[in-house]
Amino acid sequence: MRVYFSEDHRRHFPQAELYGGQFVTPFERPSRAEYVLHRLKDRGLTDIHAPGAPDRAAIAAMYDAGYLTFLETAWDQWKKAGYAGEIIAACFPARRMHDTRPPRNIDGQVGYYALASETAITGGTWDAALSSAASAQAATAHVLSGARAAFALCRPPGHHATADMYGGYCFLNNAALAAEQMRAGGAARVAILDIDFHHGNGTQDIFYDRGDVFFASLHGAPEDAFPYFLGFADETGKGAGEGANANYPMLPGTAYDLWSQALDDAIARIRAFGAEALVVSLGVDAYMRDPISFFRLDSPDFLDAGRRIAKLGLPTVFCMEGGYAIEEVGVNTVNVLEGFEAG
């Protein structure tokens, strides 16, 4: 399986994350990608390529123009305003506040475009986000050229990013870009399967009223897990998208027997949808020792999950999402890919 990976991911490395009332080293850090890359090479998956330049026109077509301008200019605006630290949201347009107009002040803009305050922006964030999107686009182009599958080792991840908001460590939604590229490349119907522990709220938001992209997400119940305010089972799409959204929220302590039943149901729904191509949001934070999750999957379970996904027989792009048990993230990620290859 070909892998696309950009060294520019290192340009995004905030020094602090607000967690449990303290500033800690971010759980989403450059070493995550390095562990995955090391494991890929250890297992002989050495067909690794730099992605090249991103397709900015495709990004512009999906995203709010003001949001893209914000991401590109936020750091310069922040420094010009005299702030010394990294960009962290401090205020938000809360319920019943008029939130349709972005403020002129950069501090207000940050709150307007952020959906959570754990995600900081640094001087290299925009370049890293572009390189992550480029990896997804390159992997998709490779599959569109006839390959069975490709893996985009995306960092930062993407599935929490909407068309006009960032958060959950995500800035550009790589899986959504890949799905849209599949559609443009000739697939009449595309499915996105999100196996990250956290609900792919951004992906759902982007495609919720569309009937040509089916979205399925296996995740911690939103009553108990980030992003909290989306991901309920009764969210099934709207308008043309009614029935093209399937959420599988699960409770703390969920182990592979129950999780795999949800996976099988999602696979059956994707097959019934008539998908011609598949994008997998490959998060491995359902792992039992992940520090910010509460499922109980073990490393061999990810091998089996890959085998089950392969049974769909679809051209498949894997986009890296979460997984924060740093020393095991490489093993668990590559297990999914090797299971898929063997399936």
CB contact at 8 A, 27 and 322? no
Gap between the terminal Cα atoms of the chain = 13
Q: Give the CATH number of the domain where residue 268 resides.
A: 3.40.800.20
Residue 275 is assigned to a structural domain of this protein: yes
Residue 76 is assigned to a structural domain of this protein: no
Residue 90 is assigned to a structural domain of this protein: no
279 strand-pairing partners: 192, 317
Residue 96 is assigned to a structural domain of this protein: no
Contacts of 217 by beta carbon, 8 Å cutoff, 6+ apart: 194, 196, 199, 200, 203, 204, 231, 246, 247, 248, 281
Q: Total domain count for the chain? A: 1
Residue 77 is assigned to a structural domain of this protein: no
- Per-residue pLDDT of the chain (343 residues), as tens digits, is 999 999 999 999 999 999 999 999 999 999 999 999 999 999 999 999 999 999 999 999 999 999 999 999 999 999 999 999 999 999 999 888 876 789 999 999 999 999 999 999 999 999 999 999 999 999 999 999 999 999 999 999 999 999 999 999 999 999 999 999 999 999 999 999 999 999 999 999 999 999 999 999 999 999 999 999 999 999 999 999 999 999 999 999 999 999 999 999 999 999 999 999 999 999 999 999 999 999 999 999 999 999 999 999 999 999 999 999 999 999 999 999 999 999 9
Catalytic-role residue among 9, 160, 198, 199: 160
To the query of whether residue 160 is one of the catalytic residues in this protein, the response is: yes
pTM of the model: 0.98
Residue 116 is assigned to a structural domain of this protein: no
Q: What letter represents residue 270's amino acid?
A: I
**Domain, as residue range, for 188:** 2-65+124-342
Residue 219 is assigned to a structural domain of this protein: yes
167 strand-pairing partners: 170
